[in-house]
Amino acid sequence: MLDVYVNIKSLMGVHSTPVTVLKGKAMDSIDTVDDAYLIVRDGRVAEFGPMRDFKARYANGCGADARCHDLSGCYVIPAFVDAHTHIVYSGSREQEYEDKIRGLSYAEIAKRGGGILNTAAHLHSTSEDELFDQSMRRLEQCISFGTAAIEIKSGYGLSTEDELKMLRVIRRMKECSPITIKSNFLAAHAFPKAYRDDHDGYVDLIVNEMIPRVADEDLADFIDVFCDEGFFTVSQTACILEAGLKYGLKPKIHANELAVSGGVQVGVEHGALSVDHLERIGDDEIACLRDSSTMATALPGASFFLGMPYAPLRRMIDEGLAVALASDCNPGSSPSASMKFVLSLASIKMRLTPVEALNAVTVNAACAMDLAGEYGRIVKGGKANFIVTKPMPSFSYFSYAYTEDLTRQVVVNK
Ligand code: NIG
Ligand code: FE
């Protein structure tokens, strides 16, 4: 199958050198071909370049099997990589949304047994098949928003059987999904009711029972801990990450959402692929990230939805760091998988330029989920994963017009 896209207003993200991570100032540049063509053969990028080359090379057409797409006025950008989601869950939590409107905080709701525990109870009484169906519908929506690779966490099971149920659902999704999925084992998301007064007992259960079973069935790529005030401590986090590392599970953690928790440091010390949230960070955390290969990942959807501060990405980029952005799609703190909205929030609320934000959800996000170099850019010979926009006056218009549906087509291949 041959698809020929012509008259593309601008083809973005065609990094010619093998870029795997963009830091500091480099985040504000992107390799682009204006007035371009792009040829996709059997799901791979066969060639691209300026239209003048196309006209010279293909004066007699591209062959009878070619499907031609005229993209006058449209942009082509790399498809998004969503490196932090919780899209396997059951039900929804709009009751808590109302509680928040009436003045309760996320932490107060969690303390009352709401929040993560609420979704865990729902998930417990949902069959694996039903959970799979609900989650597949969400995945389809993610793809329609332009996502071509996604990380999905467990963490609403909080018992061995229910955590395994979630991870088996993710495995089934991997098998039938048209996009790449990575699974992240997050039993350390909250303390279940039975362990309310025995936190170390739950850590023991994770370390000695859950992790070996997860590894035995090869159900996870990564391991995660919610290292924050009121949740898992730094030493509990270290203990869980070390147990996971023994089985080859790479850390990617939740840190510094509710307080300066020490999560950044413990993540970096354990070679985490990413430390995520970072709404509360100071000089020490920034210094620690600067000397590491851990990706700082912000989740502005959660800040928006919970009315929290935004991670200080402007400062972090100015200080030379590499940053990524993800949706954090989940029923409690970020019920949206729209990466376009994430781009808008990054620019409107965090002062990233539209190009910095795009690099944060493509090249750098791929790095945050161990897909560096493979996803997040358009390269010759690489898998064709891109978004075709509707006609737009400029690339900045894409996130500026923050409620306008500007996606004309999403092309994904894994
Ligand atoms: O990343 N912060 C912890 N976990 C999720 C929220 C999960 C939930 O509230 O259901 C997050 O925001
Ligand atoms: Fe999260």
- The answer on 310 and 282 residing in a single domain is yes
Domain with 50 in it: 2-78+376-411
pLDDT of residue 58: 94
Under DSSP, the state recorded for 95 is H
Which amino acid is residue 17, in one-letter code? T
- The answer on 351 and 298 residing in a single domain is yes
The pairing of beta strand 386-389 with beta strand 407-411: antiparallel
Going from the Cα of 256 to the center of ligand 1, the distance in angstroms, rounded, reads 12
Indicate which CATH number applies to the domain containing 131.
3.20.20.140
For the chain, the 3-state helix, strand and coil shares in percent, each to the nearest 5, are: 40, 20, 40
- CA separation, residue 345 to residues 174, 271, 327, 339, 397 (Å): 29, 29, 11, 10, 14
Q: Which two tokens stand for residue 276?
A: 């995520």
Q: Which two tokens stand for residue 79?
A: 């498809």
- The answer on 341 and 235 residing in a single domain is yes
Give 279's Cβ-side CA count (13 Å radius).
19
- The answer on 28 and 7 residing in a single domain is yes
pLDDT of residue 107: 85
- The answer on 90 and 64 residing in a single domain is no
pLDDT of residue 283: 96
Burial of residue 215 (CB within 10 Å: 0-12, 13-18, 19+) is: middle
Going from the Cα of 383 to the center of ligand 2, the distance in angstroms, rounded, reads 28
> How many other C-beta atoms can be found within 10 angstroms of the C-beta atom of residue 71?
23
Chain segment 47-63, per-residue pLDDT in tens: 999 999 999 999 998 88
Q: Which residue has the tokens 């996320």?
A: 106
Cα 66-72-74 angle, rounded to 5 deg: 100
- CA separation, residue 7 to residues 130, 205, 411 (Å): 44, 58, 17
- The answer on 390 and 317 residing in a single domain is no
- The answer on 144 and 48 residing in a single domain is no
- The answer on 386 and 265 residing in a single domain is no
pLDDT of residue 291: 87
pLDDT of residue 145: 98
Cα 290-286-309 angle, rounded to 5 deg: 140
What's the total number of domains in the chain? 2
- The answer on 71 and 123 residing in a single domain is no
Q: Which atom of ligand 1 is nearest to the CA of 276?
A: 1
Residues of the chain with pLDDT under 70: none
With the most atoms of ligand 1 within 8 angstroms of its CB, the residue from 84, 104, 109, 116 to mutate is 116
- The answer on 278 and 154 residing in a single domain is yes
For ligand 2, a single-atom ion, which residues have Cβ within 5 Å? 328
What is the number of H-type helices and E-type strands within the chain?
17, 15
Distance of alpha carbon 412 from alpha carbon 122, whole angstroms: 32
Question: Which value, to the nearest 10 degrees, does the dihedral of the CA atoms of residues 265, 269, 270, 274 take?
Answer: 50
- The answer on 169 and 102 residing in a single domain is yes
Indicate which CATH number applies to the domain containing 16.
2.30.40.10
Q: Does residue 257 line the site of ligand 1, with CB under 6 A?
A: yes
- The answer on 289 and 331 residing in a single domain is yes
Q: Which residues pair with 255 in a beta bridge?
A: 227, 277
Q: Tell me if the pTM is above 0.75.
A: yes
